[in-house]
Structure formats: C-alpha cells, structure tokens
Amino acid sequence: MHKQPMKAPGKFPPPPGKERPKLNMFTLKRVLGMLKEFYPVLFPIIIFCILFSSVTATLPAIFQQQVIAGIQEWYLTGDWQQASGIIVPKVMILAVLYIISLIAVLVQTQLTAIITQGFLNRTRKTLFDRMQNLPLKYFDTNKHGDIMSHFTNDVDTLRMLISQALPTIIQSMVVIICVLGIMIFYSIPMTLVVICGVAIMLFVSAKVTSGSAKYFIRQQVSMGKTEGYIQEMMNGQKVIKVFCHEEKASEEFDRLNEELCNDSFRANSFANCLGPIIQNIGNIMYVIVATAGGIFLLSDLPNVSLSGMAFELSIVVPFLNMTKQFTGNVNTFSQQINHVVMGLAGAARVFEVMDAKPEEDQGYVTLVNAKFDEAGNIQEVPEHTGIWAWKHPHSDGTLTYRRLEGDVVLDQVDFGYEEGHHVLHDISVFAKPGQKIAFVGSTGAGKTTITNLINRFYDIADGKIRYDGININKIKKSDLRRSLGIVLQETNLFTGTVMDNIRYGNLDATDDECIQAAVLAGADDFIRRLPLGYETILSNNGSNLSQGQRQLIAIARAAVADPPVMILDEATSSIDTRTEAIVQKGMDKLMEGRTVFVIAHRLSTIKNSDVIMVLEKGRIIERGNHQELLAQKGTYYQLYTGAFELE
C-alpha cells in the first residue's frame, strides 16, 4: 500500500474560513470606543490635557513675533519704557502658560498610565471570559500557543498604542493644524513654501508606511505561529525524543523563526528609515524657508496674509521656528504611524477572538437542590440535600419539577464534525438509572464522540437525546454538565495542592469529603506517601506524579462531584493491572446506583456491564450483555477470545 509522506509537526493548514485579521479604521474606532466605555470621565480629561498642552506648544511663535516687533520698535525709537510694556507682559504670560501646560502634561501622563494598565487588565479579563464561552471546536482548530499569543503579544501592542502612539499622534495633529493656521495668518506665500516641502514629506511617509504596515501585520501572525509551535513542541518533548525527531523539529522551528525574523526585519527596516528621511527633509525645508524669507525681505515683495502685516524680520524669524516645529511634528506623526499599525494589528487579532461565535445555549431547564414534602412532591430548596431536580418552566408560566435520576436515551442520533460528513450513524442507546453501559470498538469508531454528545460538547445533526425524558437541547449546558461526572483519557491537573485538584469536582466539598473520594478511587494510599500528603503542590499538569497516579486523582475528582451519571473514558487505561484491581473495587462502589457509560479497551473491566455495545465505523453492530455477546460469536466474541486485536 502506498503511504503518504509524513508531515513535519506544526505544518498544518489554517482552519477553513480563517483569514488574517483585516486592518481598518473600524478597529481603531472600536479601541477608542472601549476606552470611552471603560473610562467615561478620565478619557475626556486626558484628551483635554493633550489638546491644551498641544495648543500651548504653538503659542511661542505668536509671542516671539510680538516680542521681536517690540525689540525692533525699541531699536528704532530707543524708548525702552514703551518697548518693555510690550515685551515683559508677553514673556510673563508665556511663562504662566508653560507652567499650566507642564501641569497638564503631568496629569495626562499619570492618567494615561492608569487607563492603559486598566484597559489592558479589562481587555485580558474580557478576552478570557469570551474564551470560556467558545465551543470546543474553536480549540480543536486553533493552536493553543497561538491563542496564548493573543493574551501576551497582541494585548501588549495595545499598550504601546494607548500609552504612546495615540496621544503623540493627537498632539502632533493639533500642533500641525495650529501652526499651519498661524503661518497662514502671518504669510500665505511663506506658508505655500512650507506646504510644498510637507507634501514631499507626506508622500515619502505614505510610501514607507504602506510598505511597513503589511509586514507589521504579518509579524503578529508569524509570532502567533511561532509561539504555537513552541508550545506544541514543549508538550510533545517525549514523543520527539522517542522518535529522534529533534533535528526535524529544529528545522521546522528555524523555518517559522526565519519567517518571523524576515517579517520583523522588513517591518522595522521600513519604520527605522522613515525617521532619518523625514528629519533630513525637514532640515532641507528649514534652509529653503530661510532662503525664501531672505529673498522676500531683500526684494521687498508684498506680503499676502490674514494679518495684513508686511514682510519683516519679526515674521521671518518665527516662521523658521514654526517650520522646524511643523516638520518635526510631521516626522513624529509619521513615526507613530508604525506603532499604530502594530497596535491595530494586535487589536484586530484580539477582536478576532472576542468576535468568535460563542457556544450557543438556548436551554432553560435548570438543575436545583430539592427535597420531598410530606405529600411526596418535590420542592426546591436553597441548601444541598443530596437530591437534585430539573426545574422546567413552561410557556404558560407554570413550573414543573422532576427528580434527577440519570435516565439517558439516544434515539437514532446522527453526527458529523463537518457538515455533510457524518461519523455517527443511527445511534440508539437506552440507559436506565443505575445501568452500566459499555462501548467497545477500534480507535475512531465513535465511542468518545457519543459521550461528547451527551455532554453537549457538540450538537447532533439528527435524532434526539433525552435526559430524564427532557430533550437535552432544553437543558442549560452548565446544569447539564454539572449533573455528569467524567474521567477523561487525557488527565488534566491544575497548579495547586492535591486537595485542590480533587475539590475541583465540587468546590463546596469539605476536606473529609475529598479524602473519602480519594479512598473510594484508591488514591488515598499514595497521596499520604507524598511529601506533604494532600497539601503537596502539583504543577505542570502533575509532572511529579506517574500517569497512573494522575488518573487516580482524576477519578477521585469525579467521585467528589457525586453525580447521578458517570462517563469513564478509558479511566483505567494508564493504571497497571495490580493497581487496576484496587481501583476497580472503588469504581464498583462509585458506580453503584448511578448510570455509567464506560469506554474501555480492556474487556475484563466491562464484563459486568448491563449492556455492551460494539461500534464499528460510527455504527452499533452488536449489543447485549457479556454472556449474550459471547453466545453470538460475533465481533465481541472474537475480541474477547483474542481472535483479532481491538485496534
């Protein structure tokens, strides 16, 4: 048989329909809208401080013209008394304005620091909350490292955008507009000279910025890919070493890292060359304006202006300073565009997660604590009594309660991860309260998929799933999942103590209840032999424990939840035969009186199941108890007797 060449780890095509984030003004508008929403008072104060300090920065040109005019008058008349009446007040007013401007700048910088960190804090919280509401399909089709990059690199670009780029751009724009207005007021011909030079600066800036923008966007995407690959390789280090794949993994990382390096180099090479180019054009502009001013003065040309003033030294000298100020702010504006582009690229990726379609939940039936009154009717109570009930509101305004018993029915269910491509066909399962239902079959037969449908991790394409006679689409997902206990094949332990990890199944459980659950699962013995017993800190997914020990804690975590329905997906797959015998006793106690769905490759663990279902290619091909299936001498008989391997 011809084999397809193996792909290097990490070389996966992008998820269908997933495009690079688009950069547009809507993204900027959305960021500003969030700032205004989060800080309705502080944000306008910052804008006012920026505007005030910016306008104040343009006033020296006006005062300089008036002071020079006063000096000229003093030079011509020799009357210092009259000249000082013009010069001294102007200087004092300007000093006062500078002091007020300094205060405004201090207020602005402090408030900007407050709202920047607050904005990033709230953005991360919002991002994390949105992530909790995303369906499993999102995490199945996106690399976890790339998702993590949204919280780190992408959010950090917003820090530069809010704290530096946007305030600087607003300040530069205000200064440019004000200086341009003052220039036109004093001399339109000189203003035209400056505008011609600025047009050249803007043309160069636009060309360079357009080149850097696309690479800044690529840089953020490449960074996400690289971090995703690193995270993938860290999780798979054992596999890499077992199959001697270190060299191939390094080659793939080098390729991704080289792509990131190239995108970053191109983006920053454009950005870094912009400043010197604009600055030198500004210097040339200064010389041109000085030359033009000298020509206008020597030629005694008429001045066209809103002020009606003639060409004098008191106009030309301030014009030189205004030219420097004008071109300097154009340069500053151009340089900050790159930070804006990078910030908006990060913002677009953040909004991509925020705008991802959340997990739909139209359920309205909830799970409540209950008790029976003297007449035997169910009543809702606030405290936990050990009895749960489904609270079912009806369209006529009435409420009905039904005790949670664990009656699960799958009726002719079809399902596919992709539309039009079903992996389960006509699945019918009838699990009565207290029954143990087992699924066996080869990998990919659909065993785990069935249990995922019961949890509503995915929604079915056709058929019905009923829980205690209620269509599970009507049950609120959080309440549905609270009524189910599950032990997955892949164990996940969180950073914290052993006790904390067991209590994860029921946050209201006492220490004694957690210990009882550990005893039931057969985990108490090894936990007490740990350095600090139940207070031993676990980290890095419990890397200081064996796989079997981790699985035992996961079983204890499910036991402390005390649900009426249990799903055991290869729950003892990582436990040796001797430990399995110990655990099986606890599992038998755990399963007493509960509806249990078991997925197992070891057929010895499911012999006592009420119903065993054999799956093949998404269909149930055999069903019955252990003895009935052996008597049929079909697939289960062949599996049990070793006629062929389960895989």
CB 618 within 8 A of CB 425: yes
Residue 413: is its pLDDT beyond 90?
Answer: yes
Q: H or E segment at 411?
A: strand 408-415
Residue 250: is its pLDDT beyond 70?
Answer: yes
What is the domain-level CATH number for residue 332? 1.20.1560.10
Residue finishing a domain among 319, 334, 354: 354
Contacts of 231 (CB under 8 A, 6+ apart): 143, 144, 145, 148
What is the domain-level CATH number for residue 555? 3.40.50.300
Phi-psi group of 402: left, alpha or beta (phi > 0 → left; psi -120 to 50 → alpha; rest → beta): beta
Average pLDDT over residues 231-238: 71
In a domain, residue 225? The reply is yes
Pair (349, 373) in one structural domain:
no
Distance between CA atoms of residues 155 and 224, nearest Å: 12
Pair (372, 465) in one structural domain:
no
Dump pLDDT digits (tens) for 136-162: 888 877 777 778 888 888 888 888 889
Distance between CA atoms of residues 636 and 587, nearest Å: 23
Write b or e for each residue in 522-555: b if 16 or more Cβ atoms lie within 10 A of its Cβ, otherwise e.
bbbebbeebeeebeeebeeebeebeebbbbbbbb
- DSSP summary character for residue 164: I
Pair (524, 433) in one structural domain:
yes
- What is the end-to-end Cα distance of the chain in Å, rounded? 19
Dump pLDDT digits (tens) for 442-476: 888 888 889 889 988 888 889 999 999 999 999 99
pLDDT band at 4; cut points 50, 70, 90: very low
Residue 12: is its pLDDT beyond 60?
Answer: no
In a domain, residue 8? The reply is no
In a domain, residue 448? The reply is yes
Pair (388, 422) in one structural domain:
no
Q: SS3 of 567, please? A: strand
In a domain, residue 596? The reply is yes
Residue 640: is its pLDDT beyond 60?
Answer: yes
Pair (457, 346) in one structural domain:
no
Instruction: Give the percent of the chain with pLDDT over 90.
Output: 17
Q: Which residue has the higher pLDDT, 73 or 248?
A: 248
Dump pLDDT digits (tens) for 185-225: 888 888 888 888 878 877 877 776 666 667 777 777 787 78
pLDDT band at 239; cut points 50, 70, 90: low
Pair (477, 545) in one structural domain:
yes
Residue 104: is its pLDDT beyond 60?
Answer: yes
Which pLDDT score, from 0 to 100, does residue 14 have? 38
In a domain, residue 378? The reply is yes
Pair (248, 381) in one structural domain:
no
Distance between CA atoms of residues 397 and 381, nearest Å: 20
In a domain, residue 15? The reply is no
Which pLDDT score, from 0 to 100, does residue 573 have? 65
pLDDT band at 83; cut points 50, 70, 90: low
Q: Out of 210-224, 511-525, 604-618, which region has the weakest mean confidence (pLDDT)?
A: 210-224
Which pLDDT score, from 0 to 100, does residue 535 have? 93
Distance between CA atoms of residues 19 and 10, nearest Å: 18
Tokens encoding 355: 């705008």
Which pLDDT score, from 0 to 100, does residue 213 have? 65
In a domain, residue 647? The reply is no
Pair (384, 447) in one structural domain:
no
Count up the domains in the chain and report the number: 3
pLDDT band at 66; cut points 50, 70, 90: low
Pair (628, 580) in one structural domain:
yes
Residue 128: is its pLDDT beyond 50?
Answer: yes
Dump pLDDT digits (tens) for 304-332: 877 777 777 777 777 788 888 888 888 78
Q: Give the residue among 564, 534, 547, 572 at the shortest CA–CA distance from 492.
A: 547
Q: Which residue has the higher pLDDT, 235 or 435?
A: 435
pLDDT band at 527; cut points 50, 70, 90: very high
pLDDT band at 6; cut points 50, 70, 90: very low
Pair (342, 415) in one structural domain:
no
Tokens encoding 638: 């062949």
Dump pLDDT digits (tens) for 551-567: 888 888 888 888 888 88
Domain membership of residue 386 as a residue range:
366-403
In a domain, residue 286? The reply is yes
Distances in Å between the Cα of 270 and the Cα atoms of 101, 249, 342 are 34, 32, 13
Q: Which residue has the higher pLDDT, 126 or 229?
A: 126
Residue finishing a domain among 286, 321, 354: 354
Which pLDDT score, from 0 to 100, does residue 232 have? 74
Residue 5: is its pLDDT beyond 50?
Answer: no
Pair (467, 319) in one structural domain:
no
Neighbours of 485 (CB within 10 A): 24
Pair (205, 133) in one structural domain:
yes
Would you give the distance in Å from CA 167 to the centre of its chain?
26
Average pLDDT over residues 114-122: 91
Distance between CA atoms of residues 447 and 61, nearest Å: 79
Residue 621: is its pLDDT beyond 90?
Answer: yes
